[in-house]
Amino acid sequence: MPVVDPPSAPALPLTVAVRVLCAFAAKSGDLDLRFTPSPSAQDGIAGHGTVTARRGATYQREVALSAMCDDLRVQGRADGFDPAVPRLEEIKTHRGDAARLPDNQRALHWAQARVYGWMLCEQHALERIELALVYFNIDTGQETVLPVWHSALELKAFFESLCARYIGWARAEQAHRSARNAALQALVFPFEGFRPGQRELAAAVYRCHGAGRHLLAQAPTGIGKTMATLFAALRAAPAQGTDKLFYLTAKTPGRQLALHALQRLLAQPLRVLELVARDKACEHPDKACHGESCPLARGFYDRLPAAREEAAQAGWLDKPALREIALRHTVCPYYLGQDLLRWSDVVVGDFNHFFDLSAGAWSLSAGDGLRVGLLVDEAHNLIQRARSMYSAELHPASFQAVRQGAPAALKKAMDRLQRQWSALARLQTQEHTVLPELPASFIDALQRHAAELSDHLANEPQAADAHLQAWLFEVLHLLRVAEVFGEHSLADLTSPAQRSGRVRHPVLNLRNLDPGPLLRPRWSAAHSATLFSATLSPMDYVSDLLGLPDDTARLDVPSPFDAAQLQVRVTPHISTRYGDRSASLDPLVAVMNEQYAQRPGNYLAFFSSFDYLQQALQRLQAQHPEVPVWAQARGMSETEREAFVARFTEHSQGIGFAVLGGAFGEGIDLPGQRLIGAFIATLGLPQLNPVNEQLRQRLQARFGRGYDYAYLFPGLQKVVQAAGRVIRGPGDSGVVVLMDQRFGRAEVRRLLPAWWQTPG
C-alpha cells in the first residue's frame, strides 16, 4: 500500500496594509534626507480635518477598503472619496513649498492613491476614477491639488504589479513566523539549571507575558536577569501571537549582554536586530544624507530589496553583521536597519527607540497595531531618561550666533524673535524664575520663526548652513515638547553661563517633572512589558513616576547571597554634606587607607561630584602615595572608560575613583578579585537647587511624598547600584564602607537591601 503524506495545513491568509505594501514595493531611487519641514502628528490630524471639512455633502471620509490579489488581502482607509465625480483624495500635510518634496516621497503618495483608486473601482464597478493628491500647507491653509484620471484597468495592473513584488516576501515571512514559533515553543534553557532566584524571575515573566500584563521585577545583580527575561518572554511569544520583542537598555553594555544571551539561546530562525544611533552607524559623516552627496544614499531604494533579502536570510543582525551586508549592497547601514525594524523578531536598542517623542519603534508598534512585548533593563534609569526625552531648552547664545550669520532673507524674522526674547527677559526676576504657564507669545513667535526658517532651508537647499540647521532642530524639539506640556511639566527661565551683548536674554527651559502621563500611552501600546532592575525599591515610587497601569504585577526576588559575603560598615563620625566636605577629607582618607592596608585589592570609591573626587584623590595621594589610584574624568570617551575598567584585574591592586551615578556606578561586571570593596562617600541625593525644589513641591502635590520622590529614593538607588558592583556571584566576598553618618538613620537603612547586615 503506497504511503500517502498527510495533507498539509492550509496556509493562513496573507494580509498587508496599503501603507506597508507601498513602502515595500513602490519606493525607488535615492535616499534623500535633505531638510523638508514636516508637521507633527497632531498637525497632520488637524490638517486632514480641515481639508475634509471643506468638501461637499456627498464626500465620504476615512473609507475602509480592501482588495484581494491571489491569497493576499490588501486593506486600509482612504482619506476621502466623492462618489459624485468619482474622485479619490489622498491628503498629505506639509510645511513649505510642496514642490520641494523629494521624488521618492511623492512617488509613494501616488502609489497609495492608485491602490485606493483600484479598490474603489472594484468596489463600485467603476470604469475610471479621478485621483487627487491634496497637499495641505498647515501654516497657510493652502491646498495644492494634483488631479489625474485613471482607468480601472490601469489601476488594476499597477495594484497587481505591487502585489507581485510583495507576495513572495509575504509568503516567506509567513513561513518564517511559523518556523520561528515552532522553535520558540521548543526553546530550552541554555544552562544545566537556573541560578537561585532566576527561575522565579523567569516564571513571573512567562506568566505576565502570557496574560498580557505588565511586571515590575526587582532582582539582585548576578542572578542572570537578562537571560531569565529573554528566555521567558520568547517562550511566551508563540501562544500570545507576539509580533515583536523589544529589549531596551539604558547603556551600551546592557545591549551587549542581551545580544550575548540571545546567541546562547540559539533560537534559530529568530531574526535579531541591534539598533544603534545614526551617528554611530554612519559611514560618511562628512557627507550629506542624499544621493548627490553620499554614495550609500544614491540609488538606495533600488538596491534595498536585495540587501533586505540577504539580511532576512542572515537573521543575526548586530551592528557588525548589518554593516557588512549593507556595504556589500552599497546601502546605508543605519537606514537598512530602520527598514528591518519592521521585519525583525527581537530588537535590541536604547530606551529612546521606543520612548522618545519621535521614536521609530513606538511609531511602528502604534501605527501598525503590532502585538509587542517590552523588556526594559535597568528600568530605574527610565525615570530620569524619560524626563530628559520630554524636556527641552533654548539658549540665547545659539540664537545670537545664527542670527549674526543669517542671510538677509531671514533678518526680519530673526529680529522679530529677538524682540520676543527681550520681552521674555523682562519676566526674569532672579537667576531662576518659574513661569506660571507656557509663554504663549514666545512659543507663537517661535513657531512662526520655525516655519520661515524651514521654508528657507527647503527652498535654498544648496545654501543650507549646518549651524542654521542645528538651530532649527533645537527649535523644533522645543516646539514638540511644548505640544505635550502640561501639569507634569515646568517652564522656567535661567541665566546663561555666560552673558554677552547689551541684552541679557535668559535660557528658556521646558522641564518634564513627572514622565508618567507621557509614558502611559507607551505602556498601553505594549501587549506586555517587564521592567527589571536590582534597584526598583520602593516600587510605589517607580510605578508612580513611570505611569504604569494599576494592575502591574510586582516581584521582589530575594537575594541569593549570604550576609556573610558582604561586610557593610558605616562611619558615624563623617559627614559628606556640602558644607562639611573640607573637614571630611582627612577622616575619609584615613578610613580608605585603613581598609586597603587591612585587605589589599581592588576597590571603587564613589563621590558626589568631580570636584569632591579630586579633593579626596589629592589628599590620599599626598598622605599615602604608596596606594595605587586611578580616576574617572569628565567627558571620558568609550575607549577611556574601557581602559578605566581594564585596570581591575584578578591580580591588580588599587582604588578607582568615580562619581556616583556615572558610568562606573552600574552596568559593569567585576567578579571575583577584580573588585573586593567599595567606598561610598555620599548618599547620592540630588543637589539642593531651585529646580529640584520645584520638583519636590510638584511631587508632593501629586503623590504626597515630595522629599522622598525628589531626593531620598533616587539617591539611595544610586548607592545600592554602586554597592552592587562588589558581590557578583556566590563565591565573591567583599566590603562596602558607607562613609556618611546619615547611613545610620533608620529611614535610610530601610531603603538598603534586606540581606545587608548594617550596624545600628
Q: Same domain, yes or no, for 292 and 348?
A: no
Q: Same domain, yes or no, for 670 and 609?
A: yes
Q: Is the pLDDT of residue 560 over 70?
A: yes
With cut-offs at 50, 70 and 90, classify the pLDDT of residue 35. low
Residue 287: predicted pLDDT: 85
Q: Is the pLDDT of residue 72 over 90?
A: yes
Task: State the chain's mean pLDDT as an integer.
Answer: 91
Q: Same domain, yes or no, for 334 and 286?
A: yes
Report d(CA 128, CA 122) in Å as an integer: 10
Report d(CA 184, CA 221) in Å as an integer: 27
- 87 φ, ψ (degrees, to nearest 5): -145, 130
E strands present in 56-194: 60-69, 72-82, 87-94, 128-137, 143-151
Residue 463: predicted pLDDT: 58
Q: Is the pLDDT of residue 387 over 60?
A: yes
Contact 188, 216 (CB under 8 A): no
For 577-609, write each residue's pLDDT tens digit: 999 999 999 999 999 999 999 999 999 999 999
Residue 37: predicted pLDDT: 60
Long-range (24+ apart) CB contacts under 8 A made by 224-227 are 224/194, 224/195, 224/198, 225/198, 225/201, 225/377, 225/532, 225/534, 226/254, 226/257, 226/258, 226/261, 226/377, 227/190, 227/191, 227/198, 227/261, 227/264, 227/265
With respect to residue 181, please indicate whether it lies within any of the assigned structural domains: no
Q: Is the pLDDT of residue 134 over 80?
A: yes
For 493-516, write each residue's pLDDT tens digit: 998 865 555 457 899 999 999 999
CA 169, 173, 179, 183 dihedral sign is positive
Report how many domains make up the chain: 5
With cut-offs at 50, 70 and 90, classify the pLDDT of residue 266. confident
Q: Same domain, yes or no, for 497 and 355?
A: no
- The full 3-state SS of 152-175, as one line of letters, equals HHHHHHHHHHHHHHHHHHHHHHHH
Residue 254: predicted pLDDT: 86
Report d(CA 472, CA 352) in Å as an integer: 21
Q: Same domain, yes or no, for 145 and 264?
A: no
For 325-360, write each residue's pLDDT tens digit: 999 999 999 999 999 999 999 999 999 999 999 888
Lowest mean pLDDT among 190-199, 464-473, 622-631: 464-473
Q: Could you tell me the CA-to-CA distances from 15 to 123, 166, 482, 647 in Å, in that order?
A: 18, 11, 38, 55
Give the domain-ending residue among 167, 187, 216. 167
Q: Is the pLDDT of residue 192 over 80?
A: yes
Per-residue cell: 539: 516600587
Residue 5: predicted pLDDT: 37
- 670 φ, ψ (degrees, to nearest 5): -125, 75
Contact 337, 343 (CB under 8 A): no
Residue 666: predicted pLDDT: 86
Give the domain-ending residue among 534, 560, 586. 560
With respect to residue 184, please indicate whether it lies within any of the assigned structural domains: no
Q: Same domain, yes or no, for 134 and 241?
A: no
Q: Same domain, yes or no, for 293 and 425?
A: no
Contacts with 586 (C-beta within 8 Å, 6 or more apart), sequence order: 619
Question: Other CB atoms closer than 10 Å to residue 462's CB: what's the count?
Answer: 6
Q: Same domain, yes or no, for 581 and 489?
A: no
At which residue does the C-alpha cell 498539509 appear?
A: 8
748 or 413, which is more confident: 748
Residue 162: predicted pLDDT: 96
Report d(CA 592, CA 597) in Å as an integer: 9
Write the CATH number for 667. Answer: 3.40.50.300
Burial 419-439 (b: 16+ CB within 10 A, else e): ebbeebeeebeeebbbbeeeb
Contact 307, 340 (CB under 8 A): no
Per-residue cell: 293: 552627496
Nearest 10 degrees: CA dihedral of 740, 744, 745, 748? 70
Contact 756, 566 (CB under 8 A): yes
With respect to residue 3, please indicate whether it lies within any of the assigned structural domains: no
Question: Helix, strand or coil for residue 680?
Answer: strand
Q: Same domain, yes or no, for 725 and 645?
A: yes
CA 498, 503, 504, 508 dihedral sign is negative
For 158-182, write each residue's pLDDT tens digit: 999 999 999 999 999 999 999 999 9
Q: Is the pLDDT of residue 184 over 90?
A: yes
Q: Could you tell me the CA-to-CA distances from 611 to 230, 616, 657 in Å, in that order?
A: 41, 9, 12
Report d(CA 349, CA 116) in Å as an integer: 36
With cut-offs at 50, 70 and 90, classify the pLDDT of residue 63. very high
7 or 109, which is more confident: 109
Q: Same domain, yes or no, for 220 and 366?
A: yes
What is the residue-wise DSSP string for 377-406?
ETGGGHHHHHHHHT-EEE-HHHHHHHHHH-
Write the CATH number for 99. Answer: 3.90.320.10
Contact 31, 290 (CB under 8 A): yes
Both ends of the chain: CA-CA distance in Å?
Answer: 85
Q: Same domain, yes or no, for 384 and 400?
A: no
Cross-strand bridge partners of residue 490: 511
Contact 754, 722 (CB under 8 A): no
Question: Other CB atoms closer than 10 Å to residue 280's CB: what's the count?
Answer: 11
Q: Is the pLDDT of residue 320 over 90?
A: yes
Residue 10: predicted pLDDT: 47
Return the axis-axis angle of helices 103-124 and 18-25, rounded to nearest 10°. 130
Contact 555, 722 (CB under 8 A): no
With cut-offs at 50, 70 and 90, classify the pLDDT of residue 222. confident
For 356-382, write each residue's pLDDT tens digit: 998 888 888 887 888 999 999 999 999
Question: Helix, strand or coil for residue 591?
Answer: helix
With respect to residue 188, please indicate whether it lies within any of the assigned structural domains: no
Q: Is the pLDDT of residue 489 over 80?
A: yes
Q: Same domain, yes or no, for 18 and 146?
A: yes
Report d(CA 38, CA 418) in Å as an integer: 24
Contact 195, 54 (CB under 8 A): no
Q: Is the pLDDT of residue 230 over 70?
A: yes
Cα-based angle 405, 411, 413 (whole degrees, multiple of 5) = 125
Q: Is the pLDDT of residue 641 over 60?
A: yes
Average pLDDT over residues 314-328: 97
With respect to residue 182, please indicate whether it lies within any of the assigned structural domains: no
Q: Is the pLDDT of residue 11 over 70?
A: no
Domain of 348 in residue numbering reads as 197-275+341-390+515-560
Contacts with 444 (C-beta within 8 Å, 6 or more apart), sequence order: none
Q: How far, rounded to the nearest angstrom, does the alpha carbon of residue 166 sit from its chain's CA centroid?
A: 30
Radius of gyration of the chain (CA): 29
With cut-offs at 50, 70 and 90, classify the pLDDT of residue 97. confident
Question: Helix, strand or coil for residue 432?
Answer: strand
With cut-offs at 50, 70 and 90, classify the pLDDT of residue 461. low
With respect to residue 758, please indicate whether it lies within any of the assigned structural domains: no
For 432-452, write each residue's pLDDT tens digit: 999 999 999 999 999 888 888
Report d(CA 408, CA 413) in Å as an integer: 10
With respect to residue 192, please indicate whether it lies within any of the assigned structural domains: no
Give the domain-ending residue among 527, 560, 593. 560
Residue 9: predicted pLDDT: 43
With respect to residue 756, please indicate whether it lies within any of the assigned structural domains: no
467 or 544, which is more confident: 544
Lowest mean pLDDT among 30-39, 233-242, 473-482: 30-39
With cut-offs at 50, 70 and 90, classify the pLDDT of residue 4. very low
Length of the chain: 760
